[in-house]
Amino acid sequence: MLNRLEEFDSQNLQEYVTPPRIRLMGVGGAGNNILRRLHRRTISGTETIALNTDAIQLNVCQADRLLLLGKEENKGRGTGGRPQLGRRYAEDERELIKACVEGADLVFVIAAMGGGTGTGAAPVIARIAREADALVVGVSILPQTMEGKPKRQLARDGLEEFRQACNCVIELDNQLLQELRPDYPFKRAYDVMSDLVADMVQTLTETVTVPSTINVDFADLKRIIEAGGSAKVLFGEASSPEPADVLNHLLGNPLLNPDFQGAEAALLHITAGTDFALSNCHEIMAALRVDLARDVNLILGYRTDESLDSRVRVVMLVSAIPANGGKLELDRPFGEHNNTASVLGDTIPMVG
C-alpha cells in the first residue's frame, strides 16, 4: 500500500497542482476601461477578454482576446444605447463567447448598467458562462443621476436581469462619487471608480491564486459565491496592525458601500508582516461577526509577507446579503462616512 501511495505522489500529484482558471471579461465601454487596467497588471492565473459592439472602443482596449459583438449586423458601430440590440448581438456570438469561457472555473463579468452593450450583453454572457459550468461573479456599476431618470431605470432593470444570470453580483454606484466629492474633475472621478473595481477584482482573485499560511482554496471561494444574491468585496491597507486601524481601512471606503448586515456567507483574508498578533486577528473577526447573520462560518485566510513590516492588507467577501441589508451609503448622512478623506483624497487604497 505504501509503495502505491509513493508512486501516486511522485507521478500523478502534479496534474492536480493547478491554479483555478479565471476569466476576466469586460463588457461595453466601462467594462473595457476596467479590463485594460486589469490586463496591465498581469494577474497570475487569469485571462482577460474584452467584448464590445463598438469597434473603435474595442480597438484601443488591451486584452488577451477581443470580441466584437454583432459585427455582421451593426459593423462595429455600437447599439445607440439600446439594450435589446446588445442582447441580440451577444446571442449572435454565442458560440464565440462559449469558446472564450470553455474550461474556466471562475468568470468575472464586468459591466456598467444603463447603456446598450453592458446592460443588454452582460447577462447573456453571464448565462453562457454558467452553462459552461463556471462560477460567475458579476460586477455592475450604476450611472450617475445627472445622466437622467430613464437611464437609471434602465440600469436598475438591467441589474435585475444580471442578478438572475450570475451566481452573485457586486454592485457599485457612480452616483456616490458625485455625493462624496462633487469637486472632482470628470476624468479623475471615473478613473477612481475604474481603479477601484480593478483593485477589487485583483485582490479577490489573489486570495486563491497566491499561496497562504492559512490557505483559502477555490472550494472556500466557491462556497461564498454560490451562496448567491447581493455580494460585496471590501478591502484596504492599514499602516499598523491595531484592530481599529485595520477595521477602519477595511470598512472605511464609502464607494464600496460597506454595510452588509445579515450576510449569510463571508470570507476574510489578511496579509501581514511577521509580528501580526493572534489577538489582533481575533478582535478583527469578532468585530466583523456582529453584522453577519447568526452562526455564519467566517472563513479565514492568512498570508505572511515580511515586506509589509507593520502594514496589514485585508480583503473580505460577503454574499447572500438580505434585501434589507447593505443599503447604499447615500442613505447615511455625509458626516457618518468613515475615512472619506483618505479614501477619496490622494491616498486611494490600491493593491500593491
What is the rounded average pLDDT for all residues in the chain?
Answer: 89
pLDDT one-digit tens code per residue, 139-177: 999 999 889 999 999 999 999 999 999 999 999 999 998
In a domain, 272, yes or no: yes
Are 155 and 253 members of one domain?
no
- Tell me the three state secondary structure of residue 210: coil
Contacts with 149 (C-beta within 8 Å, 6 or more apart), sequence order: none
161 lies in a domain?
A: yes
| pLDDT tens for each residue of 30-73 | 999 999 999 999 999 999 999 999 999 999 999 999 999 999 99
- Kindly state the DSSP code that residue 293 receives in the 8-state scheme: P
Which of 170-174, 189-193, 234-238, 304-308 is predicted with the least confidence, judged by mean pLDDT? 189-193
More confident residue, 25 or 348: 25
172-187: average pLDDT: 89
246, 334: one domain: yes
Structural domain span for residue 155 = 19-166
For CA atoms 36, 148, 183, 181, give the dihedral sign: negative
CATH assignment of the domain containing 323: 3.30.1330.20
Q: 245 with 329, same domain?
A: yes
Per-residue confidence (pLDDT) for residue 330, from 0 to 100:
36
Residues 152, 242, single domain; the answer is no
d(CA 285, CA 299): 10
Q: Which residue has the higher pLDDT, 133 or 211?
A: 133
The domain boundary residue, chosen from 115, 133, 166:
166
The more confidently predicted of residues 319 and 13 is: 319
The predicted structure's pLDDT at residue 135: 98
Question: What pLDDT score does 177 carry?
Answer: 87
Are residues 156 and 30 both part of a single domain? yes
- Do 24 and 155 have their domain in common? yes
DSSP readout, 3-50? HHHHHHHHHHGGGG--PPPEEEEEEHHHHHHHHHHHHHTT-TTEEEEE
Please give the C-alpha separations between residue 341 and each of 302, 332, 338, in angstroms, as whole numbers: 29, 16, 9
Whether the per-residue pLDDT at 345 is higher than 60: the answer is no
User: What residues contact residue 331 under an 8 Å CB cut-off, 6+ apart?
Assistant: none
- Whether residue 33 is contained in a domain is answered as yes
In percent, the amount of the chain with pLDDT more than 70 equals: 87
Specify whether 33 is located in the same domain as 114.
yes
Which tens digit of pLDDT belongs to each residue from 317-336?
A: 999 999 765 544 433 333 33
Q: Is residue 223 part of a domain?
A: no
Task: Work out how many domains the chain is built from and give that number.
Answer: 2
Three-class secondary structure of residue 245 per DSSP: helix
Neighbours of 45 (CB within 10 A): 16
| Last-in-domain residue among 118, 135, 166 | 166
- Cell readout for 10 is 511522485
- pLDDT at residue 344 is higher than 50: no
Task: For residue 207, give every residue at least 6 positions away whose Cβ sits within 8 Å of its Cβ, in sequence order, or none.
Answer: 216, 221, 267, 269, 301, 315, 317
Which amino acid would we find at residue 60?
A: V
State the greatest distance between any 2 C-alpha atoms of the chain, in Å, as a whole number: 71
Judgement on whether residues 153 and 284 belong to the same structural domain of the protein: no
Question: For residues 48 and 38, is the Cβ–Cβ distance under 8 A?
Answer: yes
Note whether residue 215 is domain-resident: no
Flag whether 32 is in a domain. yes
Query: Is there a domain that residue 224 lies in?
Result: no
Mean pLDDT along residues 128-137 = 98
Instruction: Give me the half-sphere count of Cα atoms (radius 13 Å) on the Cβ side of residue 132.
Output: 24
Among 114, 271, 254, 269, smallest CA distance to 192 is for 254
DSSP letter for 54, please: B
| CATH number of the domain where residue 64 is located | 3.40.50.1440
- In terms of domains, do 156 and 240 share one? no
242 and 112 co-located in one domain: no
Sheet containing 106-112: which strands, arranged edge to edge?
A: 65-68, 46-52, 22-27, 106-112, 135-142, 168-173, 230-238, 312-321, 265-272, 298-304
What pLDDT shows up at residue 178? Answer: 85
Whether 240 and 159 share a structural domain:
no
**Which residue's entry shows cell 483624497?**
345
| Contact yes or no for 111/28 (Cβ under 8 A) | yes
Q: Is residue 200 part of a domain?
A: no
What is the reported pLDDT for 341? Answer: 36
Same domain, 155 and 34: yes
9 pLDDT above the threshold of 70? no
Instruction: Please state, in angstroms and as integers, the Cα–Cα distance from residue 127 to each residue in 94, 97, 110, 225, 246, following that order.
Output: 10, 10, 14, 15, 37
Q: Which of 166, 184, 203 is the last residue of a domain?
A: 166
Alpha-carbon span 59 to 194, nearest angstrom: 19
